[in-house]
């Protein structure tokens, strides 16, 4: 055993602690900066009702790869998660409507940032009943939008958990 000086709190005097070299290495490993954990995003799942029982889901294409996704984005300071989701839907798809205040599920995916770094994002999904489509919106021309049946939308997106959220939309409304 060797004696180490503790640096637990800078406002307290150092005290002697009995520890092994292994304990010291483990303590130092715990103080090393860890890679950042999962990042959070908020998404809207735009839908509309056709008739009494038919529901359609809107998907948009991603700007980078052109795959079908739902509108999503980063949190905004002093904005509720559901409000961030509604804003992203308006910016990316030009949809305006009534957004649910409770998440209907979440999924994770790997996002490639501008400099090539890949981060894991957890996306909380909020339902958005579309009331109207705007004629112009910030990302018009950068993305395609299309209405799908829930079954077709679930088969079109590439994230399995998002597929489940879309399939179960009717039950959660």
pLDDT greater at residue 110 or residue 99:
99
pTM: 0.75
Q: What is the mean pLDDT of the chain?
A: 82
Tokens of 138: 């910030």
Domains in the chain with CATH codes? 2-31 (no CATH), 39-172 (3.90.79.10)
Residue 162: pLDDT band by 50, 70, 90 thresholds? very high
pLDDT greater at residue 91 or residue 3:
91
3-state secondary structure of 134: coil
């Amino acid at each position: 055993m060797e004696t180490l000086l503790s640096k637990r709190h800078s406002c307290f005097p150092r005290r002697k602690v009995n520890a092994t070299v292994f304990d010291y290495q483990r303590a130092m490993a715990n103080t090393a900066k860890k890679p950042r954990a999962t990042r959070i995003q908020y998404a809207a799942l735009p839908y509309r009702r056709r008739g009494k029982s038919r529901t359609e889901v809107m998907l948009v294409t991603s700007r980078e790869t052109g795959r079908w996704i739902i509108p999503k984005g980063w949190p905004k300071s002093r904005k509720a998660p559901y409000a961030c989701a509604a804003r992203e839907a308006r910016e990316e798809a030009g949809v305006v409507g009534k957004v649910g205040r409770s998440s209907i599920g979440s999924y994770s995916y790997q996002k490639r940032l501008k400099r090539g770094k890949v981060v894991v994002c957890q996306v909380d999904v909020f339902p958005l009943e579309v009331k109207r489509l705007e004629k112009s919106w910030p990302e018009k021309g950068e993305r395609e939008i299309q209405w799908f049946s829930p079954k077709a939308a679930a088969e079109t997106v590439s994230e399995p958990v998002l597929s489940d959220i879309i399939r179960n939309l009717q039950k959660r409304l």
